[in-house]
Structure formats: structure tokens, C-alpha cells
């Protein structure tokens, strides 16, 4: 029997069998043993993801065996529940996950402190919410309740929960967690406590959250029981819809999906196909929307062919000019997984402010899938999210070194058009919307 998602998310009266997984979900725990899990002393010396990644495969396997042996001393199964005594190595899934919807139920005791790691990273916090605020530890706020992204920077969105939704001790609590890229939304007992907040990379604050990783269950000083653990991997089209529809008020379409009404430039070198603007193979040049924008946010989807190359023209002045140097920037759109691009300058890869600031790599979807990008230009500041992950955050006014020492006089432009700079490849763009940022 399959349960409706809402019923599963809010918790059933008893542990569900694997066959009772909500439609589209897979069980993470079989209710009988630790199959599919291993131990991970993630905070022990040499245990962080950064340290583990440096190990040779045989060394890594040895570590995991040691951690798993320790975990088995402190984790057990009783009445279809996964039980930890508050000590020992954490449990980690054997499988790694990217974009997911996760359903979890837990029950803990007074004084306990636990959490759920996503993509190897802490954490969706579980508190004893009956504790009072201690001014000696001002960043610890158990009285606000569980579900926050506790390891985000204090004061950052998502760090503290929006509401206190914990149930009394002795009762089961249920989480529903949706994560697309870094964007994380948490429901506790049916109440939204984190909304679309970026989950920071605790292990390296300067890096983005990994594209994929394991789910970990934390142990931290008090007994905690887990049951009804189910996961659903979110496909790319659904992930794009999550990103497109969040906080969508004020966005206006720049492209009608049918023709080039409202656009100008080298239109003969592009075509409209299946609701998308597509650069014709072997053609190029600049096309742009006729309105000009100062500060704005643009959202769009794009799809690359193998080795595909194009660019977003930001604050472009119009005309047959070199976008990369004469516009605020050309934001690179590139299949940087292609072998022919292996030796580029880092400032040429996908999502980079071409020739000026390099973007973080590794967040493109496979060639042929639609990527979702959000670009924010506010004054000289430029921020780019790709598939929900921040890959660029730069102040172009501070850039003094350029690829090939070529000046970029356009980087200080305060107004211009939005468009595309084609480079002979059939790169496709659709769902193009813009929101002006009013001063």
C-alpha cells in the first residue's frame, strides 16, 4: 500500500515497511539491520570529507571499516526503529545524493543534540527545544526549535528556524526536507521552518556545497530513534521548476517563446525552436532584448550541445561590439566538460565573468539537459546561481587583472541590454524572465 506524500511527511503511527514507501520514494532503512549504511567519524582527526577525499581507495576502505565497527557498538534496530545510544560514529548512507526530497521521523530525549547531514555537510539541527537561551553561548538557540541549518554562519538565512515546531518528548517528530543545489527547505511536523535557504559548506566556507554527497545521522550525547526514512531523487526538470517558481513575484518575461518580438541584433543567425531561442549551427553574433536595465535579476534555462559555447550579454550597449569587453561582462555559457576546453584560462569556464572572474566548476548538468541559471547584477556586484548553487559572487569594480591583459572598459557600465553572444554552436535558451531591482 502506498501512502500519500502528506501522510508520509507528517508521520505514520508505526514504522512503514519498505514496500510501503510513498510513491516515488526509496527506503533508506529496511527496518531490520544497517544494510545500506556505514559508520563515519566525520569529526575525528582525518575524518572530514576533505581528509577522506585525499586517501587512496584502500586507505579509505580501511577507515570506513573501522568507523563501521565502532558504529555497530552504538547503533541497533528495535521494533523497526534505528536506535543510537548517543555515542559512536555517525551513520552514513552508502549512496551519494544530489537534489532530493527526504522524509525522516525521529524521537529523542531531554538534553539531546543531533542532526541530519546533507551531502556530507552539517546540518539540519535537532535540539532539545525545552532548553533556555544561554547568553554565554549566544549562537546556540535551542529554544527556537529544531530544523534550522545550524552550521550556517550566525545571522545567515536558514540558520535559525522560522518557527518552533517540536513535539513534546516521547512523541515522534517528522521532517520533510527538499534540497535543490544549495537551496534547502525544511518542514518540521508539517510547519515550514527553513525556506529556500542556501546551505553553506561547513568544511570550506569559500567553496560551494558539494554537488552530491551522503546523508548522515548524527550522534550527540543522548538516545535518539529514527524510523520511516525515505528519499526521492529530484529530476532536473522538477528541480528547475522549484528554482523558477520560488519568489517569482515581479519577474516579467523577456521572450514570448514564439518569435523575436521585442528583440534586435543578429536575429537571422538565431531561430525560435520548441519555445527556445537557439543559435544556428555555424552562426553567431549578438541578439538582445530591446529594453535596457540597470540593476536586475534574470532567470533562464539553457541547454548545451557537446562542446557548446555562448554567453550572456549583461548591460550590453547594443551594436556589433565585443560583448566580453564592451558590456558589463559576457557571462560564459560553455560545456566545460568537453576535452577541447581542458586547458582554458579559469576565467573562461562556464558561469565566469569572461576574462575577469572565474566561477566555481562542477555544477553543470549533463550535456543535453536543461540548466537553470539566476544572475543578479546590482551596481558592480555580480552573483550567479547555477542549478541552485552559487558559483560566482564578485565585485567587478575591484577587478584589475584581465585575461591576456585585455582591458574591459565596459565592466563599469551601469545600464544596458540583456542578450546572448553566439559562438557558432546551437545553444538553446528558454524561460527568460527579468525583475528590475528598484533603488
pLDDT at 434 > cutoff 60 = yes
pLDDT at 4 > cutoff 50 = no
Residue with cell 552530491: 212
Contact (Cβ atoms closer than 8 angstroms) between residue 156 and residue 200: yes
Q: For the chain, first and last CA: distance in Å?
A: 55
Distance CA 232, CA 101 (A): 5
Distance CA 375, CA 299 (A): 7
- The pLDDT score that the predictor gives to residue 5 is 43
Q: Report the candidate in 327, 433, 346 with the shortest Cα–Cα distance to residue 391.
A: 346
Residue with cell 545510544: 85
pLDDT at 3 > cutoff 50 = no
The dihedral over CA atoms of 206, 212, 213, 217, expressed in degrees to the nearest 10, equals 90
Question: What is the band of 52 on the pLDDT scale with cuts at 50, 70, 90?
Answer: very high
Q: Which fold has domain 240-436?
A: Jelly Rolls (2.60.120)
pLDDT at 432 > cutoff 60 = yes
Dihedral sign, CA of 347, 352, 357, 360? negative
pLDDT at 7 > cutoff 80 = no
Q: Report the candidate in 37, 87, 43 with the shortest Cα–Cα distance to residue 64.
A: 37
In the chain, CATH 2.60.120.560 sits at 5-234, 240-436
C-alpha angle 117-120-123 in degrees, rounded to nearest 5: 25
Mean pLDDT value across residues 242-249 = 98
Let me know if 329 is exposed, middle or buried by CB neighbors in 10 A (0-12, 13-18, 19+). buried
pLDDT at 139 > cutoff 90 = no
Q: What is the average pLDDT score of the chain?
A: 94
- The pLDDT score that the predictor gives to residue 132 is 67
Question: What is the band of 73 on the pLDDT scale with cuts at 50, 70, 90?
Answer: very high
pLDDT at 261 > cutoff 70 = yes
Q: Report the candidate in 146, 180, 171 with the shortest Cα–Cα distance to residue 227.
A: 171
Contact (Cβ atoms closer than 8 angstroms) between residue 91 and residue 217: yes
Q: Which fold has domain 5-234?
A: Jelly Rolls (2.60.120)
Residue 353 DSSP label: B
pLDDT by residue (tens digit) across 299-318?
Answer: 999 999 999 999 999 999 99
- The pLDDT score that the predictor gives to residue 2 is 33
Which residues face 263 on adjacent strands?
Answer: 289
Question: What is the band of 179 on the pLDDT scale with cuts at 50, 70, 90?
Answer: very high
Distance CA 387, CA 391 (A): 10
Half-sphere exposure of 234 (CA within 13 A, CB side): 23
Q: Which residues contact 282 (CB under 8 A, 6 or more apart)?
A: 424
Instruction: Quote the cell numbers at residue 406.
Output: 585585455
- The pLDDT score that the predictor gives to residue 1 is 31
Contact (Cβ atoms closer than 8 angstroms) between residue 301 and residue 429: yes
Amino acid at each position: 500500500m502506498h501512502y500519500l506524500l502528506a501522510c508520509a511527511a507528517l508521520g505514520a503511527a508505526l514504522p512503514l515497511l519498505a514496500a510501503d514507501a510513498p510513491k516515488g520514494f526509496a527506503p533508506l532503512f529496511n527496518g531490520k539491520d544497517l544494510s545500506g549504511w556505514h559508520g563515519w567519524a566525520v569529526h575525528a582527526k582525518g575524518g572530514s570529507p576533505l581528509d577522506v577525499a585525499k586517501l587512496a581507495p584502500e586507505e579509505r576502505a580501511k577507515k570506513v571499516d573501522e568507523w563501521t565497527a565502532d558504529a555497530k557498538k552504538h547503533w541497533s534496530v528495535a521494533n523497526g526503529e534505528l536506535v543510537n545510544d548517543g555515542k559512536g560514529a555517525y551513520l552514513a548512507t552508502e549512496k551519494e545524493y544530489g537534489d532530493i526530497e527526504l522524509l525522516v521521523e525521529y524521537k529523542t530525549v531531554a538534553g539531546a543534540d543531533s542532526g541530519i547531514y546533507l551531502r556530507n555537510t552539517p546540518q539540519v539541527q535537532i535540539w532539545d527545544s525545552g532548553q533556555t537561551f544561554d547568553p554565554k553561548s549566544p549562537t546556540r538557540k535551542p529554544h527556537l526549535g529544531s530544523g534550522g541549518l545550524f552550521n550556517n554562519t550566525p545571522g545567515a538565512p536558514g540558520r535559525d528556524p522560522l518557527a518552533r515546531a517540536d513535539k513534546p518528548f516521547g512523541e515522534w517528530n517528522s521532517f520533510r526536507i527538499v534540497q535543490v543545489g544549495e537551496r534547502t527547505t525544511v518542514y518540521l511536523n508539517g510547519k515550514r521552518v527553513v525556506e529556500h535557504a542556501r546551505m553553506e559548506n561547513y568544511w570550506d566556507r569559500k567553496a560551494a556545497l558539494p554537488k552530491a554527497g551522503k546523508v548522515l545521522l548524527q550522534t550527540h550525547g543522548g538516545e535518539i530513534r529514527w524510523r520511516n526514512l525515505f528519499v526521492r531523487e529530484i529530476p532536473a526538470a522538477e528541480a528547475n521548476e522549484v528554482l523558477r517558481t520560488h519568489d517569482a513575484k515581479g519577474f516579467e518575461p523577456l521572450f514570448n517563446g514564439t518569435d523575436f518580438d521585442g528583440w534586435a541584433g543578429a536575429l537571422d543567425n538565431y531561430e525560435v525552436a520548441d519555445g527556445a531561442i537557439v543559435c544556428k549551427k555555424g552562426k553567431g553574433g549578438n541578439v538582445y532584448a530591446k529594453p535596457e536595465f540597470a540593476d536586475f535579476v534574470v532567470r533562464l534555462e539553457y541547454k548545451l550541445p557537446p562542446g557548446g559555447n555562448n554567453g550572456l550579454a549583461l548591460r550590453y550597449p547594443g551594436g556589433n561590439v565585443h560583448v566580453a569587453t564592451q558590456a558589463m561582462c559576457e557571462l560564459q555559457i560553455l560545456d566545460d566538460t568537453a576535452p577541447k576546453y581542458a586547458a582554458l584560462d579559469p576565467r573562461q569556464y562556464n558561469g565566469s565573468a569572461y576574462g575577469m572572474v572565474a566561477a566555481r566548476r562542477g555544477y553543470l548538468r549533463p550535456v543535453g539537459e536543461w540548466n537553470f541559471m539566476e544572475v543578479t547584477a546590482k551596481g558592480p556586484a555580480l552573483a550567479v546561481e547555477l542549478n541552485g548553487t552559487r558559483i560566482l559572487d564578485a565585485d567587478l569594480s575591484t577587478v584589475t587583472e584581465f585575461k591576456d591583459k585585455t582591458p574591459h572598459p565596459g565592466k563599469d557600465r551601469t545600464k544596458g541590454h540583456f542578450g546572448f553572444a553566439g559562438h557558432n554552436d546551437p545553444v538553446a535558451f528558454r524561460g527568460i524572465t527579468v525583475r528590475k531591482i528598484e533603488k
